Amino acid sequence: MTAALHPGRLLARRYRLLDQLGVGGMSVIWRAHDEVLDRLVALKVLAPSLAADARFRHLVREEARAAAQLVHPHVTSVHDYGETVAADGAITSFVVMELLTGEELELRLTEGPLPWAEAVDVAAQVADALAAAHRLGIVHRDITPANVMMTPAGAKVLDFGIAARVGTPDEDEDGATFGTPAYVAPERLDGAPAQPATDVYSLGVLLYAALTGRVPYPADTWEQVGAALAAGRPPSLAGVPGLPAEVARTALRCLARDPAARPTAREVAAVLREHLPHRDPRPVTTAPRPAAPAGAPPRRRVPRATLVPAGLAVAVAVAVPALPLDRTAPPQSSPARTTAAPAVVGTPAPDGPARTAAPSGVEPPDAAPTGLVAAAFRLDGLIDAGLTAGEIRSDVGVDLRNELRNLSASATGGREDLAPPVARLREKVAVRLREGAISPVYAERLDSAIAALGTARL
C-alpha cells in the first residue's frame, strides 16, 4: 500500500527506495538504488487502486514492454517492470526507468519562446524519437513540452503511459482522460485509431509553442478544442524573426487538419536539421537547475487529474543530482545559457570509429582540481566536450554520467571508500577505448580525471 512506501524499503529484493521525486493522481515517483547493478534509477509506483486491477497491471506491463523496445538517445530508457505482494495481499506495481537530470521544456518555456534555432533543434530531436517509435509501430499520443526533458545527454521524450500500437482503436472517444487538449490532433476528437500522424500534429504544436510562446489553438477542455478548431484562423509563423521559410512551412504542415497531408516524423527531422545554422557545430545547450535542498518539494508540475495519462507507465521525474557540481568552478565554454554546469542538449555524435584528433578547450590532466565537487565538475565537463567533439559515443557518455552520479551518491551517502566505484569507472573507460567508442586522447584524459576523483576530498 502507498502508506507502506518509505525511504529504505526494498522492492523486489532489488530496488531500495531513497526519496520521493513527484506525486501524481495515479502514481508516486521515487528515486531508488538498484542494488544488483549499483545504479540510481527512477521508480514509478502505481496507486494501490490501479495496481489491484489485473487488467490495468497488464496494460501497464505491455506499455512498459513497448517503451523498452525504444533504445534511442532521445527516448527515456525503461529498465524493468515489477510487482510485489504484501502479506495482506496488497499489490505494489512499478516501472523502473532511467533517472534524468535536467529541466522540462515546459518550465523552460515559462521564460518565453526559444530562439528559433534552439526551438528547431529540440523539435528535430523529438522528431527523431518519434520516427524511431513509429518504425516500431508505436504512437506516443501525448507529445507536449511537459513530456520533453532537456538533459545533459539531449532532449528526452518522456511518458509513453498512453502510447498505443498503430491502428489501435481509441476506446476513450471523448478524450476525457487522455492527452493534453491543446496538443491533441483533431481526428482524436472523433475517436480515430492511433496513427503516427497524430504524433506529428502534436509535434507541430510543440514546435509552434517553442517558437512563439503560445499554442496555435488555445484550449483547456475538449469542447474548447473543437470550438477553437472550428473558429480559429489558420496559424502563422510570420512573426518569428529569422525563421527559414521552409521550416515554417513544415511546422504548419504538421498542423494540417487532414492527417494524410502531414509529413512523417522522419521528414520533419530531416527538414529541421537541414535548416539549422552551421556556423556553430555544438548542439543547443541548457543549464540544469540547481539541486534542491533536502526535503524540498519536487519541481515537476503535476498535471491536473483530468489530464494525467491513464497508463502512467513510463514517465520519468526530474532527478536532483546527488552531488551538485560546484557553481563557482570554472565553467566550460558553452554557446548558450551558461549559468550552471555545462550540459549539452542536442544531437549526440553518430556511432562509428573514434577519431584521434586532439580535443580543443580541454584542460590538461595536471590542472585537475583537488576538491571532490570540482573534480566531478571537471569530469562532467570532459564528457560534455567529448560528446560535442564526437570523441565519445552518445550512449557511452550517458553510461559514464550514470556512473559519476552513483559515485557522487556514494560520497554524499557517507561511504568513505571510493576506490571500488573509481576502479569500475576507469575500467569502463578502458573497455570503451578498446571498442572504439572513446578516442585514445579522451580516454587518457578521462582516466586522469577519474583518478583525481579517487584522491579528492569532499
Compute the distance between CA of residue 267 and CA of residue 78 in angstroms, rounded to an integer: 27
Compute the distance between CA of residue 96 and CA of residue 45 in angstroms, rounded to an integer: 9
Name the catalytic one among 34, 142, 170, 199.
142
Angle (CA) 338 428 390, round 5°: 45
Strands 91-97 and 15-23: unpaired
Angle (CA) 116 361 120, round 5°: 15
On whether 44 is known to bind a ligand per the annotation, the reply is yes
Compute the distance between CA of residue 6 and CA of residue 19 in angstroms, rounded to an integer: 8
How many helices and strands, by DSSP H and E, does the chain display? Answer: 12, 11
Residue 156 bridge partners (DSSP) = 149
Based on the residue annotation, tell me whether 280 is a catalytic residue of this protein.
no
For residue 406, what is its C-alpha cell?
552513483
For residue 56, what is its C-alpha cell?
490495468
Compute the distance between CA of residue 200 and CA of residue 261 in angstroms, rounded to an integer: 11
Question: DSSP string spanning 175-189?
Answer: -SSSS-GGGS-GGGG
The residues near 175 (Cβ < 8 Å, ≥ 6 apart) are 181, 184, 188, 189, 222
Q: What are the binding residues for ATP?
A: 44
Annotated active-site positions, please?
Answer: 142
